[in-house]
Structure 1
Amino acid sequence: MTGVVRTQDLRRPGVLALQTLAVALGYYAAGRLGLLRNLAVEGAVFTPIWPPTGVAVACLLILGLRAWPGIALGVLLIITHLTSLRPEVLGNLLGNTAAPVCAYLMLRRVGFRTDLSRLRDGLALVFLGALTSMLISATVGVGMLVITDRIPTGSFWSVWLAWWVGDAMGVLIVTPLLLLLHGARLPLRMPRWKEAVGLSIIACGVVPLATHNRASLLFLVYPLLIWAALRFQLAGSMLCALFTSVLATVSATDEVGPFEGLTHIEVMMKLQAFNGSMALTALLLSAVITEQRNTRRSVERACQELVEVLEHLTAGDTPRAQPPREATEKEIQEFQELRGISDTREDRDTDDPRHRPAGS
């Protein structure tokens, strides 16, 4: 028994070290992907979608608070890739680590479910996990840029907005997909695979047209999102949203299509508004549809169980008695006659001295 306990104690630090390393590498890889496309706003370079925030929140929701050292290590790797280690780096390290941890704590506080099967889960991820918690990383990060004179004080709010929306978009798009991948079970069942293939082909034709055409046809994406959410719920809608966001970001950074001829501020505002509204539509619509389908399945299951219970009860019952019928006039008359005879006998028995009480 002692040998078993010691073996488990030795395995726990090893497993924790592997998890920390895996989280750090995942954060770093997501950061390298996010850095492939960036925009410059008021002298500061930012990424329209920062995937590491989504990776960090998903790891915390799956592994718990023990994932935070891996997040901190991943942030440090990204910082060393971008610049040399300086004292102000500590502020960015704390801000980028604290933001996803706060998101995890707030989501756990409200009873968040990782399957995103309820509307309240989608709303919690949007308003607590993305919009509220990412205020920390944006405020600390841009504040350090102002303190170190990297950007002028007057540019604080424009850079802060770009930073905040980029971090929030990483949570809105990447976190649901990672949670969905974690909850998937093999073998995958796809009863509508023909429809899925058709949707993919249409998306591959419509999305590039919408994101690279100067006529500004971005609205064509929303019917695809609705179709994907209605038929494939979270998996379909979020994959469609991710594909569209990537192509829209490529178009914005290349300043082509609907982003051609705009200033950097206008490109940032248009891209972030489009990506944000699309991610919100995909996430919340799929959550509503999933919740309604789960509710309908619960009702159908309850009805089926009720039918089985009734069948079980009626299987061993005796034949039911005939329902009572109204008495005829003849039967009523005979009953009254019998009652009258009974009353007469009771009166006669009372008048008979043999039936009187003693002493009367």
Structure 2
Amino acid sequence: MLVLAGVYLAVARLGLSLSTVGGNVSPVWPPTGVALAALILRGPLLWPGIFIGAFLATASTGVPLSVALGVAAGNTLATVLGAALTRRLRMGSDLSRIRDVVVLCVGAGAVCTGVSSLVGPLCLLLGGALPWELLGRAVWVWWVGDLMGVLVVAPPLLLLSRPTWPHRLGEAVALAGLTTVLGASVFLFRNAQPGFAHAASFLLFPMSAMAALRFGPRGAAAATLAISTVAIFGTVRGQGPFSSGNVAQDLLVLQLFVVVNAVTGQLLAAASEERRRAVEKLQLLATTVRGVHEGVFIAEVEGPGRLRTVFANEALSLLLGRPPEELVEQDPCKMYGEQDPRLCQRLNAALLAGESLCVEVTVPRKDGRLVSTEVLLSPVRATGGDVSHFVATHRDITATKELQARLVAAERVAAVGTLAAGVGHEINNPLAYLVLNLEAATRALSEGGMLGQRDAQSSVRGALEGAERIRLIVRDLQVFSRQGDQDRTLVDLNALVPPAVRIISHALRHRARLVEEFGPVPKVLGSEARLGQVLLNLLVNAMQAVPEGNPTLHEVRVRTSTDASGRARVDVVDTGMGISAQVMARIFEPFFTTKPTGEGTGLGLAICQQIVRTHGGELEVRSEEGKGSVFTVLLPAAPVQMEVPPRPVARGKPAVPSTGRRGRVLVVDDEPRLAQSMRLLLEPYHDVVMTTRGSEALALVSAGHRYDVILCDLQMPEVDGATLYRRLGVVAPELTRRMVFISGGAYTAETRDFIETVPNLVLEKPVRPEVLMASVDAALDTLAAQDEEDGPVVARAGGARH
């Protein structure tokens, strides 16, 4: 504080030596710049140092102490207000922004110095140190002097408070020397031609501009200080282009030159700094975008819904397997290939509305492989204008999707595994019934006679009933064990609930009553296996929420209905323990579980929510601790409520041929006992050839044997059903139409694709005898119809018709 007071006093004495009004008012007043810089750099608590320095400087001129106190108060108030304004407006002391220069020049310089330029002359007037007629001039000169101090002295102090050597030291020294020499030649020599001298003074502006452009605000401040010092020194001595013999007038005119030079230099330096930072940010952004691991493209909007790619980074090129030049100048929508129409509608709507969009898109690579990506499409708007560009980032989520599929499969297995004991009991009951009836039939047949035959027939019918019950249980399990079933079809939730209920019923009966309540519900577009998994998981969750011991006190209710907005609704209600508020906030978090170790994975509800959201729906929960919970699945209704035609399957025909035609049948199944059973069933009515390997079937056909019907298992080692179909298409194409496939479950993606695309009949194991017989009859009827269309010619090869 004392140092500031001493510096202020010394600089003020220098300014007072150039006073032009009453011996107390000077057009050159550097103390204001010193005081403002001190308060900005060191804080407002130094204001007493300014007050002391200003008081001593003013008192040294012989004015009364009261006048000195008033002048010191005005000078201090002006600088405190200027410093407060710069802090309030967050002015940077490095003056590297145009707004910083404006705040300094206009706010702290032009506005705040008006306080001291009014207070000071009025105090001198009231103290008798200034005549009334000089008041206006004194205010003007005082304000010009303070403004010069702010613009010329404050910037060098602010910028040189943390001195650093310039990177181009040699250039800086040369420019400083040239500026000094040019300034001295203009202001320190009397010229006989004033017009030439005025013109020469303009040569200093390029020097100041060069310093600002090459060395930023520091260079501009240093050049302004040097030029101003030389100009004031020369003008006071009566030299330079602004000298006219009247020093007071000359100094005022000179200040206009100084102010214009200082403001121009600082603004130019700030603009140069902002441009440099913008270029650095742009280069950093470009480098970052090029090196980022996510694929990025920038597209220019050429019209409504029309885009043109102007940039694509290396990551996007690697993701798509295409060089960048194939992506640039193209419509980016083409890279997405054929997508779901609803997705295309969302993309087009986002483009037309200029809105952001985050979607999952399957992108085809150049080699044909499909890559799952998460695309974030963001609009870029011109300043205050329309959308000019779109930026899209592509994140490869192929591995994430595979992991999610594995987690879904793991949770599905865990859910079914939780019910394994109950399912095993459900199978054991009809299995025991089946075994006992078969043993009874065996004994009855061994006894012989009409009575024994009747007892045997009754026991066989009982065995068939047990086998049918086992078949239904296996079919229900298949609904929840399909792998990778992502095909969307029309799903009737009223038909999907019973299999889930049947699977869980045995495990639940010891805890609570199970109530089914079906209402009108629209069909939804989705995956039957995935939605079935949601229902099963929610039922398992409800079962585990109900304590064991007294099933008459508890209830689990499954209710289907349609909500007010037309969505399909399924409620799973339990009267169990309920969920606390703390747990409720986390129930959908992956791996969060309140169950003991080994009894829960913490994935069930998280995966249920994921599956429901994938179907465009919502999973809601309401619960009250101690009173149970309600989980609600809401799914959007399918756009078209129509039945999907099922794959044609022969139904309800008796186990005897409907026609008298005897055909030649080839049975191909790797399970010998099953193949033998089919042979025994068909042999009384048809000529049957049996093989357990697809390669043997190919060998028979290659040897010239022909068959009217080929019953072929899909899942076989080495040559499976799909492979046999394709190879027969080369060796004997006419036989491919006569194949009837038998599937125990499509366990691979290739098999599922084959089933969906092949036009032939596909029977699900276990095949009922009458269905198998009817399927063979249907194939023979089709063959007969084709023979009639082709004509009466029937060729023979190896004793077989074809």
In 2: Cα distance, 1:253 partner to 1:273 partner: 15
Distance in 2 between residues matched to 1:174 and 1:109, nearest whole Å: 22
Looking at secondary structure, tell me which structure has more strand per residue: 2
More RCO (CA 8 Å, sep 6+): 1
Q: For residues 341 and 247 of structure 1, what CA distance do their matches in structure 2 show?
A: 93
Equivalent of residue 297 in structure 1, options 280, 298, 311: 280
CA, structure 1 residues 155+47, in 2 after alignment: closer, same or farther (shift >3 Å)? closer
The within-5 A match list for 1:199-238 is 199-211=175-187, 212=189, 213=191, 214=194, 215-216=197-198, 217-238=200-221
State the partner residue of 1:130: 109
Change (3 A) 1:290 1:322: closer
- Within the candidate set 72, 76, 86, 1:107 is matched to 86
The answer to whether structure 1 residue 32 and structure 2 residue 13 are counterparts is yes
Within 5 A, what are the aligned runs for 1:83-98?
83=62, 85-98=64-77
Aligned partners of 1:318, 1:122: CA distance in 2, in Å? Answer: 48
Instruction: Return the letter of the residue paired with 1:226.
Output: A
1:324 alignment partner AA: G
For the residues of structure 2 that align with 1:69 and 1:92, how far apart are their CA atoms? 14
Distance 2:92 2:281 in 1: 18
Per the alignment, residue 196 of structure 1 pairs with 172
Amino acid at match of 2:113: M
Distance apart, 1:119 and its partner CA: 0.9
- The change in CA–CA distance for 1:182 and 1:159 in structure 2 (over 3 A counts) is same
> Could you tell me which residue of structure 2 aligns to residue 183 of structure 1?
162
In structure 2, C-alpha distance between the alignment counterparts of 1:340 and 1:22, rounded to whole Å: 92
Moved more, 92-101 or 149-158: 149-158
Matched residue type, 2:123: M
1:343 positional shift: 3.6
Partner in structure 2 of residue 47 of structure 1: 26
Q: How do 1:55-70 and structure 2 match up within 5 A?
A: 55-70=34-49
Please say if residues 210 and 219 of structure 1, whose CA atoms lie closer than 8 Å, have aligned partners that are also in contact.
Answer: no
Q: Which consecutive residues of structure 2, in runs of 5 or more, have no partner in the other structure? A: 295-313, 322-364, 370-725, 731-736, 738-753, 775-802
Alpha-carbon shift at residue 84 of structure 1 (Å): 5.2
After superposition, the Cα gap between the structure-2 partners of 1:340 and 1:223, relative to the gap in structure 1 and judged at 3 Å, is closer
| Distance (Å, rounded) in 2 between the aligned partners of 1:305 and 1:102 | 44
RMSD: 3.5
Alignment of 1:228-267 (within 5 A): 228-261=211-244, 263=246, 266-267=249-250
Q: Who is 2:544 aligned against?
A: none
* CA distance in structure 2 between the aligned counterparts of 1:269 and 1:66, rounded to whole angstroms: 33
Who is 1:8 aligned against?
none
Matches within 5 A, 1:252-291: 252-261=235-244, 263=246, 266-291=249-274
Aligned pair in 2 of structure 1 residues 264, 178: CA closer, same or farther (>3 Å)? closer
Structure label with greater radius of gyration:
2
Quote the Cα distance in structure 2 between the aligned partners of 1:341 and 1:201.
Answer: 87
Count of aligned pairs between the two proteins:
323
CA distance, structure 2, for counterparts of residue 279 and residue 271 of structure 1: 12
Higher helix share: 1
- The C-alpha deviation readout for 1:85-106, integer Å capped at 9, x for no partner, is 5222221011011000000111
Paired residue secondary structure (2:33): helix
Say if 1:68 and 1:97, in contact at 8 Å, map to a contact too.
Answer: yes
Q: Kindly indicate whether residue 128 of structure 2 is the aligned counterpart of residue 149 of structure 1.
A: yes
1:13 alignment counterpart: none
**Which is worse superposed, 221-230 or 152-161?**
152-161
Q: Alpha-carbon deviations, 1:279-332, whole Å to 9, x = none? A: 111221111112221222233334444455439x97xx999665329xxxxx9x
Determine the C-alpha separation between the residues in 1 that align with 2:201 and 2:263: 15
Partner of 2:53 in structure 1?
Answer: 74
Distance 1:341 1:274, change over 3 A: closer
Secondary structure of the 2:128 match is coil
Instruction: Report the CA distance shift for 1:260/1:175 in structure 2 as closer, same or farther (over 3 A).
Output: closer
Identity %: 31
Deviation of 1:258 (Å): 1.9
Q: Matched residues in 2 for 1:190 and 1:340: separation?
A: 74
Alignment match, 1:10: none
Question: Distance between the aligned counterparts of 1:194 and 1:340, measured in 2?
Answer: 79
Give the TM-score of the pair, scaled to structure 1. Answer: 0.78
For the Cα contact (< 8 Å) 1:229–1:237, is it kept in 2?
yes
Q: What SS does the aligned partner of 2:20 have?
A: strand
CA contact (8 A) 1:44 1:151 kept: no
The one-letter amino acid of 1:345's match is L
**C-alpha distance in 1 between matches for 2:98 and 2:76:** 27
Query: Secondary structure at the residue paired with 1:323?
Result: coil
Measure, in 2, the Cα distance between the counterparts of 1:46 and 1:343.
106
Q: Distance in 2 between matches of 1:255 and 1:39?
A: 15
Aligned to 1:323: 367
1:354 aligns with 2:771: yes
Question: Could you tell me which amino acid in structure 2 is paired with residue 137 of structure 1?
Answer: S
Q: Distance in 2 between matches of 1:319 and 1:88?
A: 82
Structure 1 residues 256 and 303, CA, compared in 2 at 3 Å: closer, same or farther?
same
Alpha-carbon distance change, 319 to 274 in structure 1, aligned in 2, over 3 angstroms:
closer
TM-score of the aligned structures, taking structure 2 as reference length = 0.37
AA paired with 2:38? C
1:40 partner SS: coil
Q: CA deviation at 1:340?
A: 11
Conserved 8 A contact 2:244-2:250: no
Distance 2:757 2:770 in 1: 20
Q: Mind listing any 5+ residue stretches in structure 1 that lack a counterpart?
A: 1-19, 326-330
Cα 1:123/1:342, change in 2 over 3 Å = same
> Deviation of residue 239 (structure 1)?
1.3
